[in-house]
A and B are shown apart, each in its own frame.
Chain A
C-alpha cells in the first residue's frame, strides 16, 4: 500500500513537474533573526549584523506626556526630530555623550497665521537649518528657521493637475540641497508633488506608469457593457508609501501596492531611486531585484504572509540602503548594486523586535539605525556588530578602489559567515586583479558569479593555451598526418588492386 501511495505520489509529482515556479512559496522556514539568501533562495542564518544599543521611550526622555502614534523620524547632524503626531508636536532630541536627550519641543510656529501644529506627520531640515514640518491637518507644509520663527508655508497648489476638490494632506516630505520640497500627499496618486523654494508648485514627478495589457483592453472595451465597465476597477497608478533623499539628491521611494505576479517578474519595483525627471534608476545587478523576502511562508504557523511591504527607507554611506518591511518587521540592507547584505528583525514585544503592523519609520546616523515603532512609541537604536562593520568597511574599500584591502576584509567576514556570497565575489575580484586566475575562478564559482567567472576563465584559458600551444599543435598535426597518410595508403592499395585486376583478367 505504501508503494502504491509512493507510486501515485510520484506520478502526481511528474504531472505537476511543469508547474514549477521560480519562487516557490510552499517551502517554510524556521524563524531566524539575522539571515541572508543563498543562490538557491534558501535562507542561510548569519551572525548578527546589528545589535540593539538602546531603546528610547517617552519615559527615558522625561516627556510630560508620552508620545502618541509618532509617525516619522528625521536626522540632521547630531539632532533627531520625532513627529509626535498624536500630541500635535515635534520633539527635537540631540546626541550628548552617546545618549539622546530631549533638546526642545516644537509645538508652535512663531509669527504664523495658524501658530499651532495639527497632526504633524513628517519633518525635514535643510542645509540652512530651516525646519520643514508636514502639518497634515492644517493642510500645509510649514517652514521655520532654527529659532522657530515662521519663514514660509507650502499650501495646496492652485494648479489644474492637482485635484481642487481634494484637500492637501502632506504625509511625507523631503527637501533637496537647493530648497526644493517634495511632498507625498494622502489621496494623491500622481507621484511626488514638487515645489520650488519660492513655494510655487512645479508639477508631479515619478508617477507610477499605468500599463494595460492587450487582453485587459479587449476584455474591457469589447465584451463588457457600459455599466459593467463603470463598475470594474479603474487602472490607477499606485501611491508611494515613503521616501528618503540621498546626498546626491536622488529620491528613494517605496511602493507597497503591487501584484505578487509583477513582483516576481521585476515589474513592481517596490524600491525606486527617482532622478530629477522622475525615472527609476535603481541599479539591480543581482540575480533577483531588491524585493525583500523571497520566501513568504512563516515557518512557525505555516501562514503565507505575502510579499514584503516596505514602510520606510534610508540611505547610508556608499549608496547602501536599508528598507523596513512592515509585513514581518524586518530590515533589509542592500548595497549600491542591489545585492542583499543582510536581513534581520522579527515581530514581537521585546528588544530588537517590532510591532510592525502600523509601520515603522527608520533613520540613520552614521552606521547606527533608528527604528521608530508607531505602536509602542519607542525608538530602537541599532548599532552594527563587528561583522556588520566588516561588511560596510569591505564595501567602502571596494568603492574607494582599494580592492586588495577589501578582499582582506571579506576574508575576515567569511570567518563569521561562510555562506556569504558577496565575500566570495569580493575575494575573487581581488584575485582576478592579481592575475591569479584559477583561484579567482574558484571563488567566483562559489559565489555563483558566472559573468566574472567567464572573465577569469577567458584569461586563464589564454594563459593555458600560450603555455601549452606546442604539444596541442603537435597532437593536432599528428592526427592530420595520420588520417591523410591512411587515405593515401588506401588509395595506393586500391590503385594497385585495380592495376592487378585489369592486367590479370586480361
Chain B
C-alpha cells in the first residue's frame, strides 16, 4: 500500500530506472492514458510515468493485432487474399510510415518550440495505439461468432477503435510538445509533408548509392578484364 502512494514525484520514477517493476507499471499506466488522455500524456512524458520499453511492446502488439486480424477474422468481414500476403511486407508497410512520421514530427517540432524529444514522441504515439489493440484483438474472436447480418456491430467497434486511437495520437502530440490544438493541426499537416520529403530523400539516397556502387563494380570489372 505504501509503495504506490509514495511514488508520486517524477524524480522517484526516474530513479527506479529500468527495473522490471517500472516496466510493468508503465504498461499498466496505459489504462490511465487512454481514459484520461490530457492528464495521462502529460504525466507520461513530463512525469516519466511511461517507458520506451512499454511503448515498443504496444507497437509490437499493434503489428501482431494487425496481422492476426488479416489471418483470423472470419471471411465474412475481412477476406484478405492470404495466398498473396507477406507478413513482413504488411508489418513494414505499417512500421515504416509510423517511424517516418515520428521522425518528421520530431524534425519539425524541435525547430519550433516543441518540448518533446524523439523518444517522447515515439512513446506517446505507441501509447496511442492501445485502443486499437484492446478493441481489435477481441473483435477477431467476436467476428467468428457473429454473422454477416450483424456486421454493423462489428463495423461500429472497428471505427470506434480507430477514431479513439487517432484522437489519442492528436492529444499525445499536443501534450508532448505543449502545443495548443490549432498549432498541433498545423504541425500535423507539415509532418505529412516532412514525411514525404524524408521518403523522397531516402529513395534518392539509395538510388544514388546503388548507382555509385554500380560504377565502382563496373570499374573493377573493366580493370580486371584489361589486366587479364
Say if the beta carbon of B209 comes within 8 Å of chain A. yes
Chain B 63-92 per-residue mask, 1 if CB under 8 angstroms from chain A, else 0: 000000000000110010100100001001
* Residues of A with C-beta under 8 A to B147: 454-455, 457-458, 461
Contacts of B79 in A (CB 8 A): 39, 448, 450
Q: Does A11 contact B (CB under 8 A)?
A: yes
- Cα A122 to Cα B27 in complex, Å, equals 78
State the majority secondary structure of interface residues on A. Answer: helix
Q: How far apart are the CA atoms of A14 and B91 in the complex, in Å?
A: 11
Residue of A nearest to B84 (CB): A40
A13 / chain B contacts, CB cutoff of 8 Å = 89
Cβ–Cβ < 8 Å partners of A347 in chain B: none
The residue in B76, B81, B213, B217 that gathers the most chain A C-beta atoms within 10 A of its C-beta is B76
B202 in the interface (beta carbon within 8 A)? yes
Q: Are A8 and B206 in contact (CB under 8 A)?
A: yes
**Could you tell me the distance in whole angstroms from the C-beta of B212 to the nearest C-beta in chain A?**
9
Chain B residues whose C-beta falls within 8 Å of the C-beta of A455 in the assembled complex: 147
Known contacts being A453-B148, A454-B148, is A11 close to B202, with CB within 8 Å? yes
Question: Are the C-beta atoms of A14 and B97 separated by less than 8 Å?
Answer: yes
Chain B residue at smallest Cβ distance from A455: B147
Is A158 part of the contact surface with B, judged by Cβ < 8 Å?
no
Taking the complex as formed, is A418 at the interface, i.e. its CB lies under 8 A from any CB of chain B? Answer: no
Interface residues of B in 206-225 (CB under 8 A from A): 206-207, 209-210, 213-214, 217
| Cβ-based interface call for A400 (8 A) | no
Contacts A14-B92, A448-B75 hold; do A8 and B145 have CB atoms under 8 A apart? no
Tell me if B113 is interfacial: C-beta within 8 Å of chain A: no
Interface check B149, CB cutoff 8 A: yes
**Cβ-based interface call for B203 (8 A):** yes
Q: Is A477 an interface residue (CB 8 A)?
A: no
Q: Which of B79, B203, B206 has the most CB of A within 10 A?
A: B206
* In the complex with contacts A1-B210, A1-B217, A4-B209, A17-B93 CB distance below 8 A: yes
Write the chain A residue with the least CB distance to B149: A454
Chain B residues within an 8 Å CB radius of A12: 203
Q: Are B75 and A450 in contact (CB under 8 A)?
A: yes
**B196: nearest residue on chain A (CB-CB)?**
A15
- Chain B nearest Cβ from A208, distance in angstroms: 34
Report chain A residues within 8 Å CB of B89.
13
Distance A451 CA – B151 CA, assembled complex (angstroms): 11
22 residue pairs from A and B, CB less than 8 Å apart: A4-B210, A8-B206, A11-B199, A11-B202, A11-B203, A13-B89, A14-B92, A14-B93, A14-B96, A15-B203, A17-B93, A39-B79, A445-B75, A450-B79, A450-B148, A453-B76, A453-B148, A454-B76, A454-B148, A454-B149, A461-B145, A461-B147
User: Which residues on B are within 8 Å of A, measured CB to CB?
Assistant: 75-76, 79, 81, 84, 89, 92-93, 96-97, 145, 147-149, 199, 202-203, 206-207, 209-210, 213-214, 217
Nearest first, the 9 closest Cβ-Cβ pairs linking A and B are: A454-B148, A8-B206, A454-B147, A4-B210, A450-B76, A1-B213, A458-B147, A457-B147, A450-B148
Other 20 A-B pairs with CB < 8 A, given A12-B203, A14-B97, A450-B79: A1-B210, A1-B213, A8-B207, A8-B210, A10-B92, A11-B199, A11-B203, A14-B96, A15-B199, A40-B81, A445-B75, A448-B75, A450-B75, A450-B148, A453-B76, A454-B76, A454-B149, A457-B147, A461-B145, A461-B147
